[in-house]
């Protein structure tokens, strides 16, 4: 039995609070079963005071969304000298901003759908609304996908099939973030490919195929039972699986991730496109990382222990 004290950080004030609490509760149960001393912490204004008083050996970050995935909590924990699970400050910040990450993908030769990024300030201060007619030509026509550049759980995601719906979709996306990404909609098979780092290097887990019954894998499809079918391993050709795995590993390394990442992709015919990278994947009953790990022969406890042991190994660094 381990005597190490692990603080599980969950909840907070992000729009993904409820999902985070579910992830955190499952992680707490797994750590307790593994014999760790567990301190469950809802992230509030008392967090720093509590961490300084409790002096945990490490923190398991079960936070999702703003403050949990954008480098904020990572920067704070480094300042406090507490090791934590998951990617560091730089990787978190790069992956959190989908538009920045996509630019890095293009520079590295990783295929990603054509896009444009429009900020709230560009609309308010520079008249960007008068150029919306140029957007279809920039991304390759309709349909298009509109989403906030900095959110998780597909919040603010919309499919736009014609010019009359574009402004409203942008307005909705900009209610979640200060900038929105308009991306060519790729009709195909959605894949999620997770990467776990271990003592023997990184391991790419089997891809999870996602089939949302509504046709849109948004927040409702993610977290409502029966709204989405998942297939593990994915029902795609072996060479597609191989390329998807290679892209997942490349993105993981490109952004500087450690411990874990989940890369979302879309497959159209034989072509694989990378959409984004998630640095704090969900750990709920319907989350994709645990599904992929199970297909690779790992239990939920195996995943949690591998992540926390990685964090604990950095105690003296």
43 close to 305: Cβ distance less than 8 angstroms: no
pLDDT at 66: 86
Residues of the chain within CATH 3.40.50.20 domain(s) are 5-85
> Candidates 3.30.420.40, 3.40.50.300, 3.40.50.20, 1.10.3720.10; correct CATH number of 5-85?
3.40.50.20
User: What is the rounded average pLDDT of the residues 19-48?
Assistant: 97
* HSE-CB for 294 with a 13 A CA cutoff: 13
In whole angstroms, give the CA distance from residue 174 to residue 75: 26
Cα→Cα distances 230→211, 212, 282, 286, Å:
6, 9, 15, 9
pLDDT tens, residue by residue, 243-268: 999 999 999 999 999 999 999 999 99
The predicted pLDDT at position 108 comes to: 98
Q: Is the link from the previous residue into 143 a cis peptide, with omega within 30 of 0? A: yes
Is the alpha carbon torsion for 271, 155, 21, 229 positive or negative? negative
CA atoms of 81 and 302, how far apart (whole Å) = 26
d(CA 21, CA 23): 5
Specify which residues 231 forms β-bridges with.
Answer: 209
Which one-letter DSSP state was computed for residue 317? -
**Of 148, 113, 159, 116, the residue nearest 274 (C-alpha):** 113
Residue 1's pLDDT is 54
Between CA 41 and CA 280 the distance in angstroms is 17
pLDDT tens-place string over residues 298-316: 999 999 999 999 999 998 6
What pLDDT sits at residue 155?
79
- Per-residue pLDDT of 51-108, as tens digits, reads 999 999 999 999 998 899 999 999 999 999 999 999 999 999 999 999 999 999 999 9
- Range(s) within the chain of domains with CATH label 3.30.1490.20: 115-184
For CATH 3.30.470.20, the residue range(s) in the chain are 93-111+187-309
DSSP string, 51-62: HHHH--SEEEE-
Res 275 pLDDT > 90: yes
pLDDT at 75: 98
Please give the pLDDT value at position 317.
55
Whole-angstrom CA distances from 216 to 155, 234, 276 are 12, 18, 16
What pLDDT, on a 0 to 100 scale, did the predictor assign at position 213? 81
Class of domain 115-184: alpha beta
Least confident stretch, 13-17, 38-42, 310-314: 13-17
Q: What are the two backbone dihedrals, phi and then psi, of residue 290, each rounded to the nearest 5 degrees? A: -60, -35
> What average pLDDT is seen over the chain?
94
Q: Domain 93-111+187-309 falls in which CATH fold?
A: D-amino Acid Aminotransferase; Chain A, domain 1 (3.30.470)
- 230, 284 Cβ separation under 8 angstroms: no
Catalytic site positions: 16, 153, 223, 262, 264, 276, 278, 282
E runs forming strands in the chain: 5-10, 37-42, 58-61, 115-119, 144-148, 158-160, 179-184, 189-198, 201-204, 208-212, 228-231, 260-268, 271-278
The Cα 24–Cα 205 span in angstroms is: 22
């Amino acid at each position: 039995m381990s005597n190490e004290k692990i603080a599980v950080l969950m909840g907070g004030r992000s729009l993904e609070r409820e999902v985070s609490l579910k992830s955190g509760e499952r992680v707490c149960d797994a750590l307790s079963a593994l014999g760790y001393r567990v301190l469950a912490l809802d992230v509030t204004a008392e967090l720093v005071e509590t961490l300084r008083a409790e002096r945990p050996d490490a923190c398991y970050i079960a936070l999702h969304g703003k403050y949990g995935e954008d480098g904020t909590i990572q920067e704070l924990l480094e300042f406090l000298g507490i090791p934590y699970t998951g990617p560091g400050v730089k990787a978190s910040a790069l992956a959190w901003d989908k538009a920045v990450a996509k630019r890095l993908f293009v520079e590295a030769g990783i295929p990603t759908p054509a896009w444009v990024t429009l900020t709230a300030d560009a609309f308010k201060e520079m008249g960007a609304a008068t150029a919306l007619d140029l957007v279809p030509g920039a991304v390759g026509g309709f349909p298009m996908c509109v989403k906030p550049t900095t959110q998780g759980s597909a919040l603010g995601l919309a499919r736009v099939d014609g010019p009359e719906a574009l402004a409203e979709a942008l307005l909705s996306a900009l209610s979640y973030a200060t900038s929105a990404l308009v991306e060519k909609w790729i009709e195909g098979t959605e894949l999620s490919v997770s990467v776990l780092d271990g003592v023997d290097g990184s391991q790419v887990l089997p891809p999870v195929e996602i089939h949302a019954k509504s046709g849109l894998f948004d927040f409702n499809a993610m977290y409502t039972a029966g709204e989405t079918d998942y297939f593990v391993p994915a029902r795609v050709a072996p060479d597609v699986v191989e390329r998807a795995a290679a892209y997942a590993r490349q993105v993981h390394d490109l952004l500087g991730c450690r411990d874990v990442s989940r890369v979302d992709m879309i497959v159209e015919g034989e072509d694989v496109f990378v959409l984004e990278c998630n640095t704090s994947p969900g750990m709920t009953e319907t989350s994709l990382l645990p599904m992929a790990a199970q297909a690779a022969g790992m239990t939920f406890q195996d995943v949690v222990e591998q992540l926390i042991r990685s964090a604990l190994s950095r105690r003296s660094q």
